[in-house]
Amino acid sequence: MPLSQTPAFVKSWSQVEELMLDSAITPDQLDWLLHLVSSTPKLRKLSLGFYKGDQMFMQLLSAFHTLYKLEELRLKSARVTVNALSSLLLRNSATLHSLSLQHIALGDYEGRWSTVFQNMKGHFPCLQNLVLFWLKQGTYTDGLFIFSMLLKYPVSPGSEVRGPNDCLKYESPQIDSMEDPIRLRYWPIGQSVLGIEYHGKEIDQVLGALVITAGAN
């Protein structure tokens, strides 16, 4: 009997509240990793990183009804469809307060980030920490999401994360008047804004602006 199926391991593993997996998933590991994640009914914090992205893993993971009370979710270097990502997020909408999506590609050819952000609007009462960086849509190599359209005026490239004291003018009046600013993350060369960070309570205003920005990408 594999160690992960022994009564002692199952009992101990069921108490896990935080889990981090950073791996290049091979076909023979798929069922084992899915079993590990699905056997954690008390899981509150989940961090998944893939070297090449594994759309099948994310597709199956999104269907797990045992993942329904995550407080923190971090995905990195993953490839996922709009439906799979939306399902995973919405299943945890009542408890999720921190979300990080970095180097994520939408695997469906016509999948758009505007759909993901629109699906999130009005459903995440606890979400106060949002990190988005290097998002792609359309294909895995093209369709890089540019956040510069959030801004009314171009800004000069500076540090990777601009501080809250920067006087930036946003395209949306709602964004411009928010108490907690959106912080921008730059590609080291050039002026392209490839990511944002937001820490505050006005997440729906941020998502609304992202829907408009995503529609223009």
Q: Write out pLDDT tens, residues 46-103.
A: 999 886 657 888 888 888 888 899 999 999 988 899 999 999 999 999 999 999 999 9
44 occurs within a structural domain: yes
Share of the chain above pLDDT 70, in %: 76
% of the chain at pLDDT higher than 90: 34
**pLDDT value, residue 75:** 94
Residues composing the chain: 217
Tokens 């016509």, located at residue: 110
Query: What per-residue confidence (pLDDT) applies to 177?
Result: 62
Whether 5 is in a domain gets the answer no
The whole-angstrom separation of Cα 132 and Cα 135 is 7
Predicted confidence (pLDDT) per residue in 105-148, tens digit: 998 877 889 999 999 999 999 999 999 999 998 754 457 888 76
CATH of the domain at 34: 3.80.10
The residue written with tokens 């912080």 in the block is 183
CA dist 163 and 199 (Å) reads 12
Evaluate whether residue 11 is within a structural domain. Answer: no
Identify the helix (H) or strand (E) that includes residue 103.
strand 98-106
Count structural domains, the chain.
1
DSSP 187-207: -SSSS-EEEEEEESS-HHHHH
- Give per-residue pLDDT as tens, 141-159: 457 888 766 765 444 444 3
- Residue 9 inside a domain? The answer is no
Host domain of residue 95: 16-216
User: Do the domain assignments include residue 7?
Assistant: no
Highest mean pLDDT among 19-28, 134-143, 156-165, 187-196: 19-28
Pairing of strands 129-136, 193-199: antiparallel
